[in-house]
C-alpha cells in the first residue's frame, strides 16, 4: 500500500528533482519552505535559467559531455530540464536521443551516477510484482522497456540499454506532454552475450550470458502480467529487442495488452508518412509505388507490413500489396527460391531470379529505396546513380543510426544524384547547398509518431494498438507537411513544431480509437481541450 509523500522542507526540497526550482524560489517561498540562506541571493525566472543552461551546454565541445550535463539537470531539477528541451528541441533532441544516446549507452556503466529506471533480472523471477512496489510513483501510464540486445546499430549492450528507455520517455514528456511522474523506464536485464562487457569489471548489469528460450519468455510474461496488475491499462512500448524476439513478443502481446514495438511499428508509421509526402514531390500515385528495402530485419519488415495495410486501405489486395515490396539482405535479393529465410521475410519472397543489390535496382526499377542495415556506406555512389537511372526524382531513406551507421549522408545523396534525390534519414544531417539550391533533409525520427500516438492512447484508454492507429498517425503527420517544406526536400515538418504535431496526432489517434470502439475512457465533449489540459507544461 502506497502512502502520501510527506511534505518536505529545507534542503530536502532542493534535493527532490520534482520540487527543486533552484534560483526560481522567490523570497517568500524561501522563507516559508525553510530554504532561506541555502541559495544565492539572486532570483531567476525559469526563462533565465534556461538561458544559463544553454550557455553552459554550448561551452561543451563533446556531445557526450552535453548529454551528461542534461542528464544531471534531469536528476536535480526536472521542470528546468524539460523546459530547456521543449524550448530548444531541435538542438537538444540529437543530444538526449539519437545519435548521442548511442554513445551514452556504450558508456553507461562508466558515466552512471544516479539511479534512473527499473531493472529486472533473472534473479527476480517469481517476485516481479512484489518488487514493482518499490517504484516511487503510484500512477504509471507509459512504460518503455528494452532488453538491450540490439541497441540502435550498436548491438548487444545489456543493461547499458537503459539509456534508450530513459531517452524515449524524455521525448514522451518533452514532445507530447506525458507527465514524467507517469513514465517508467525499464530494462529487462537478462544478461549479455557481449564478451567485452562480461569481462569489464565496471559493467553494472547481470554478469552472465543471456537467458533465452522458455526462461526468457517466462520472465517477459511475468513482467507484462505484473505491470498490468499494478497499473491497469498501462501502455508498454518495446525498444531495441533482437528481431526474432521483437516479432515474437509483438505477436504474443499485441491483442492482450496496450503495447507496441517502436522499432517495428513506430518506424513504419514515420516512414510511411515520409512516403506519402514524397508522392507530393514526385507526383507519383501511392498505389503505383514499388519499394526496395536494403536490410530485412525488424525495422524494414515492420515498415513493409504497415505498407501492406496502407496499400490495402486504398484498394489493393494483400497479394498485390506485397508484390510492391522487395527486400535485399546479405544474401542478395530475397526471392522464393532462397532457403533458410526467417518467418517474417517469407511473405516478401517473390518469384524472381537471384540478384545482387545493383542488379535488383536496375531490373525492379523501384521508386523508393529504404535502408535499415546498420551498415554504413551501403548506399554507395553506384547505388544512388542506379536509382537515378530509373527515376527522375529517386526517393532515398537512409535510416540506420547513429549517424556513423547511416547508409549514406545527405551530402552524398544530393551530390551523387546531382540534386535530384529526395532524402530522409534516421539520424540528423545539416542543410546542404549545391548549385545555388538549398536542401533541408529532415530526419525520419520516430519522435514524430510515438509521443503523439502514446498521448492519444493514454487519453482514450485504448484496449490495444491496431494497425489502423498507426495508419491514422502516418496520414496525420503527412498532412502537416507544408509546401515550403517540400520545396527544400523536407518530407517532415520542422522538429521544433513537435509539441503541436504530437497534439494533432493524439487527437486523431484518440478519435480513431473511439470510432473503432476500443477506447475505454468516456469520450470528452472537447477532445482537443482535454488533451491540452493533460499535457505537462514545465513552468514555475
What lies within 8 Å, CB to CB, of 127 at 6+ separation is none
Q: Supply the Cα-derived Rg of the chain in whole angstroms.
A: 23
106, 168, 463, 503: which one is catalytic?
Answer: 168
Q: Is 462 helix (H, G, I), strand (E, B) or coil?
A: strand
Distance CA 371, CA 455 (A): 29
CA distance 515 to 1: 37
Beta strands per DSSP E along 334-454:
368-371, 395-398, 422-425, 432-434, 437-439, 442-443
Compute the distance between CA of residue 366 and CA of residue 478 in angstroms, rounded to an integer: 21
CA triple 437-291-489, angle to 5 deg? 15
Helices (H), 438-497: 450-460, 467-479, 483-487
Three-state secondary structure string covering 209-237 = CCCCHHHHHHHHHHHHHHHHHHCCCCEEE
3-state secondary structure of 326: strand
Choose, from 82, 97, 276, 448, the residue flagged as catalytic: 97
Q: How far apart are CA 86 and CA 83, in angstroms?
A: 5
Report the sign of the C-alpha dihedral through residues 52, 53, 55, 56, in that order: positive
Please state, as a whole number, how many other Cβ atoms lie within 10 Å of the Cβ of residue 449: 29
Task: Sort residue 355 into left (φ over 0), alpha (ψ -120 to 50) or beta.
Answer: beta
Residue 53 in grid coordinates: 543552461
Question: Could you confirm whether 97 is annotated as catalytic?
Answer: yes
Query: Is there a contact between 275 and 351 (Cβ–Cβ < 8 Å)?
Result: no
Parallel/antiparallel/unpaired status of strands 368-371 and 395-398: parallel
- Write out the catalytic residue numbers: 97, 168
Amino acid at each position: 500500500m502506497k502512502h502520501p509523500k510527506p511534505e518536505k522542507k529545507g534542503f530536502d526540497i532542493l534535493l527532490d528533482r520534482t520540487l527543486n526550482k533552484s534560483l526560481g524560489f522567490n523570497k517568500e517561498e524561501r522563507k516559508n519552505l525553510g530554504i532561506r540562506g541555502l541559495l544565492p541571493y539572486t532570483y531567476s525566472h525559469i526563462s533565465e535559467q534556461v538561458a544559463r543552461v544553454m550557455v553552459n551546454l554550448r561551452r561543451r565541445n563533446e556531445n557526450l559531455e552535453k548529454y551528461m550535463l542534461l542528464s544531471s539537470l534531469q536528476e536535480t531539477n526536472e521542470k528546468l530540464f524539460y523546459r530547456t528541451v521543449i524550448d530548444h528541441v531541435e538542438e537538444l533532441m540529437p543530444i538526449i536521443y539519437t545519435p548521442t544516446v548511442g554513445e551514452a549507452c556504450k558508456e553507461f556503466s562508466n558515466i552512471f551516477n544516479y539511479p534512473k529506471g527499473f531493472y529486472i533480472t533473472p534473479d527476480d523471477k517469481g517476485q516481479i510484482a512484489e518488487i514493482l512496489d518499490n517504484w516511487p510513483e503510484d500512477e504509471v501510464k507509459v512504460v518503455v522497456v528494452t532488453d538491450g540486445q540490439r541497441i540502435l546499430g550498436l548491438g548487444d549492450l545489456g543493461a547499458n540499454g537503459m539509456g534508450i528507455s530513459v531517452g524515449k520517455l524524455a521525448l514522451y514528456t518533452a514532445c507530447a506532454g506525458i507527465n514524467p511522474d507517469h513514465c517508467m523506464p525499464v530494462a529487462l536485464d537478462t544478461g549479455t552475450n557481449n564478451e567485452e562487457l562480461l569481462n569489464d569489471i565496471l559493467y553494472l548489469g547481470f554478469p552472465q550470458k543471456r537467458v533465452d528460450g522458455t526462461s526468457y519468455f517466462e520472465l517477459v510474461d511475468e513482467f507484462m502480467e505484473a505491470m498490468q496488475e499494478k497499473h491497469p491499462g498501462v501502455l508498454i512500448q518495446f525498444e531495441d529487442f533482437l528481431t526474432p524476439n521483437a516479432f515474437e513478443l509483438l505477436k504474443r502481446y499485441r491483442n492482450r495488452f496496450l503495447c507496441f514495438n517502436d522499432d517495428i511499428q513506430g518506424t513504419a508509421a514515420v516512414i510511411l508518412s515520409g512516403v506519402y509526402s514524397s508522392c507530393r514531390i514526385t507526383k507519383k500515385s501511392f498505389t503505383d509505388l514499388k519499394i526496395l528495402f536494403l536490410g530485412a530485419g525488424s525495422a524494414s519488415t515492420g515498415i513493409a507490413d504497415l505498407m501492406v495495410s496502407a496499400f490495402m486501405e486504398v484498394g489493393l489486395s494483400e497479394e498485390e500489396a506485397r508484390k510492391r515490396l522487395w527486400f535485399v539482405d546479405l544474401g542478395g535479393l530475397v526471392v522464393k527460391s532462397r532457403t533458410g529465410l526467417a518467418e517474417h521475410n517469407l511473405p516478401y519472397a517473390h518469384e524472381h531470379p537471384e540478384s545482387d543489390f545493383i542488379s535488383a535496382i536496375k531490373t525492379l526499377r523501384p521508386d523508393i529505396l529504404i535502408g535499415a542495415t546498420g551498415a554504413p556506406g551501403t548506399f554507395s555512389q553506384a547505388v544512388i546513380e542506379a536509382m537515378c537511372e530509373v527515376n527522375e526524382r529517386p526517393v532515398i531513406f537512409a535510416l540506420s543510426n547513429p549517424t556513423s551507421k547511416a547508409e549514406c549522408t545527405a551530402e552524398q545523396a544530393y551530390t551523387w544524384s546531382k540534386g535530384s534525390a529526395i532524402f530522409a534519414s534516421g539520424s540528423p544531417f545539416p542543410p546542404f547547398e549545391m548549385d545555388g539550391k538549398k536542401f533541408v533533409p529532415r530526419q525520419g525520427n520516430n519522435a514524430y509518431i510515438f509521443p503523439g500516438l502514446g498521448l492519444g492512447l493514454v487519453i482514450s484508454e485504448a484496449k490495444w494498438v491496431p494497425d489502423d492507429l498507426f495508419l491514422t498517425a502516418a496520414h496525420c503527420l503527412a498532412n502537416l507537411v507544408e509546401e515550403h517544406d517540400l520545396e527544400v526536400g523536407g518530407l517532415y515538418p520542422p522538429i521544433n513544431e513537435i509539441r503541436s504535431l504530437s497534439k494533432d496526432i493524439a487527437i486523431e489517434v484518440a478519435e480513431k480509437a473511439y470510432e473503432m470502439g476500443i477506447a475505454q475512457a468516456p469520450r470528452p465533449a472537447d477532445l482537443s481541450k482535454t488533451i491540452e489540459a493533460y499535457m505537462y507544461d514545465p513552468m514555475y
